[in-house]
Amino acid sequence: MTKLDATLNRLVEEARTAPASAEIAARALPLLDLTSLNDDDTDERIAALCDRAVTEAGGVAAVCIYPRFVPLAKQRLSNKGVAIATVINFPAGGTDAAAVSADTKAAVRAGADEIDVVLPWRTFQSGERTIPHDVLRACRDACGDGVLMKVILETGGLDDAGLIEQASRDAISAGADFIKTSTGKLNPAATLEAAAIMMAVIRDCGRPVGFKAAGGIRDTAGAAGYLYLSNVLLGPGWATPSTFRFGASGLLDALLADLGQTTTGRKPSGGY
């Protein structure tokens, strides 16, 4: 990745050493989008994922699943205070705005509360701006009122500080409620460097926008660095479920262990 400016680089280095603790685990748990996005997901696996979403230590923010499982998750988590998130044009970041609109409308009708849509990042990387904007606007319009749009930038593919900054700004301009690092299908996934750039854009954008780190965050120590960046760049009280998410599959059990809770023992076989 292109070198960060000196201030962000210093913050990233500090974030790498942010200590893990039970307090950090307690902060991170309600920020979790508990995720299973495997090609071989089944009703049984998604039902088990939903059953894991409410623990003795509290509930997660959302479950994130493929659209075909939205009705099942909606039924399974009825009145549990856990949102249903799903993915559109995932993971490749398709450029067909009409298809994105239709798929988003179908997911919302099925009960999705949140839509994670992929910026057509390869097209964006090539220098094209109209097509990515049109795709995101189609999703935003199809979401309607009350449904969150989280835009996945696929920062590991962009792999350039300037491109990540511009993609963040363009996603926000197109109506993003959250900007999200990664699909979890490409390496590197979430990085502290990308997170610092994205949070700095959020800080300066002039309206409330959330941040989601997704992919490769597996323990409390991994979560601690992102929370440190949010504290410094956006304020100690900024990271709440309405502004900050971790997209992960295995992180929940690690957080519960650090909170002294019995772990669920039923991790998805993949996802994030």
Domain presence at residue 270: no
Give the CATH number, domain containing residue 67: 3.20.20.70
Per annotation, catalytic residue among 150, 212, 219, 258 = 212
87-122: per-residue pLDDT in tens?
999 999 999 999 999 999 999 999 999 999 999 999
Domain presence at residue 101: yes
Which band of pLDDT confidence, cut at 50, 70 and 90, is reported for residue 268? Answer: very low
Domain presence at residue 271: no
Q: What pLDDT does residue 159 have?
A: 85
Q: What pLDDT does residue 152 have?
A: 98
Domain presence at residue 265: no
- Name 76's Cβ contacts closer than 8 Å, sequence gap at least 6: 46, 47, 50, 51
Per DSSP, helices labelled H in the chain are: 6-16, 22-28, 43-52, 70-76, 97-110, 121-125, 130-143, 155-158, 161-173, 192-204, 220-234, 251-258
Domain presence at residue 60: yes
Domain presence at residue 47: yes
Number of domains into which the chain is organized: 1
Q: What pLDDT does residue 263 have?
A: 63
Per annotation, catalytic residue among 41, 103, 116, 219 = 116
28-48: per-residue pLDDT in tens?
999 999 999 999 999 999 999
Domain presence at residue 166: yes
For residue 116, the enclosing domain spans 6-258
pLDDT of 260 strictly over 70? yes
Per annotation, catalytic residue among 41, 103, 150, 180 = 180
180 has catalytic annotation: yes
253 has catalytic annotation: no
Domain presence at residue 107: yes
212 has catalytic annotation: yes
